[in-house]
Amino acid sequence: MKKLLCVILTLTLILFPLLSLAESPEDEGLASPGDQAETGEFAPSPGGTGDTPEGLNSLTDENFSVDDMPEKYTEPSDQPGRVEKVRYKVYTDEGTDVRTATVYLPAGYDDTEDRYNVMYFFHAASGTPLNYLNPDKDTSFKNLLDNMIADGLLEPLIVVAATYYPTQGFTKFMPLEMQVATLAEFPTQLVEVIIPAVEENYRTYADSLDIEGITASRDHRAVAGFSLGGVATWNVFQQQMRAFRWFLPISEASWSDEEGGTSGIWDSDVSAQVLYDAVIEQGYVKNDFRLFVATGTEDEAFDIATSQMASLLEYDDMFKPGENVACSMMNGGTHTITAVYTYLYHIMPSLFSAR
């Protein structure tokens, strides 16, 4: 089994929506500090102290830096895949809402009858799926996938960028109460609506798209997200482990407490207990999942996120570094889209590598 890379990034100012540091939608032209992230113009927040909770360094498998991913990997590849749109319907109290996921297919997809593993990826607070996968233009994320696959660092896979928003695309920040409610409902929508709508169109490992078929193919499905998308990923971990084996919450910690609120952010022992109990309540054990969680030393919520991971690792009958969890920190890593690519460059080769 390849060494697991567990990446905890950190809580964001998502909790204070007007100060969010996430990406802005490339397709809508909205301005936010995240626009600067891809060019490296956004200054690191002073919130990350780099002071790791006692004992966490001893659990770190590997450290890396922001500049150790080849620059060419975010540039266009000579073996490009393609991106398509898949529309699906969500039924709400207000009526039917048609939304769009964007789907990456690797080079050579049409030339084989192979089945493919699938990773679902969720954007940050002010973003859309088009930040990452856009049918109309190459994105840094698509180029990263193309180049890693072309160089043999990553097995060809399907990647789906989807939204957890109650509407199709960002228009304004959701109040915290709405964020909590929306993210709590999203895991069910993902499994019951988005996965069937997407995977009926492509060759995945699901023999059927009822819950039995989705559960039977969970070994071949990963879920990942950045910032508020990381909260969505943690919620999927808590509610829908039956559909996924691989979890990559990037730049976020779980918000959950025992009351369905967000106080788990500030009390890492509470959130760790909630996560531990969630695995048990879903009927799974340590060998049934792989968790990759990451943090950058200059992320504004570094201290809160690393404290949560330190508490989580106290449950070593469920979360065991070197077995189903591992911890690494990116030296100089900030809460920016650019940092996300470096995390994924390190994490993705370990996906689907061991059952």
Instruction: Answer whether 156's CB lies under 8 Å from 108's CB.
Output: yes
Nearest to 74 by CA among 165, 159, 140, 128: 140
- Better pLDDT: 209 or 346: 209
Per-residue pLDDT band at 39 (split at 50, 70, 90):
very low
What pLDDT is stored for residue 337 in this prediction? 87
Read off the pTM. Answer: 0.85
Class of domain 13-350: alpha beta
Instruction: Answer whether 208's CB lies under 8 Å from 2's CB.
Output: no
Among the ranges given (189-193, 285-289, 333-337), the one the predictor scored with the smallest mean pLDDT: 333-337
Instruction: Answer whether 6's CB lies under 8 Å from 321's CB.
Output: yes
Tokens 């990559």 identify what position? 248
pLDDT over 60 (residue 34): no
Cα separation, 325 vs 306, whole angstroms: 14
Tokens representing 248 are 């990559």
The whole-number average pLDDT for the span 338-354 is 88
Instruction: Answer whether 91's CB lies under 8 Å from 185's CB.
Output: no
What pLDDT is stored for residue 141 in this prediction? 98
Among the ranges given (34-43, 50-59, 122-131, 136-145), the one the predictor scored with the smallest mean pLDDT: 34-43
Per-residue pLDDT band at 165 (split at 50, 70, 90):
confident
Q: What is the DSSP letter of 209?
A: S
> What end-to-end distance do the CA atoms of the chain give, in Å?
9
Q: How far is CA 67 from each of CA 27, 298, 300, rounded to the nearest angstrom?
A: 28, 14, 19
Q: Which residues, other chains included, contact 89 with Cβ-Cβ below 8 Å and sequence gap of 6+?
A: 96, 97, 98, 99, 193
Q: In the chain, where are the structural domains located?
A: 13-350
pLDDT over 70 (residue 216): yes
Query: 58-105, pLDDT tens digit by residue?
Result: 334 456 777 788 999 999 999 999 999 999 999 877 778 889 999 999
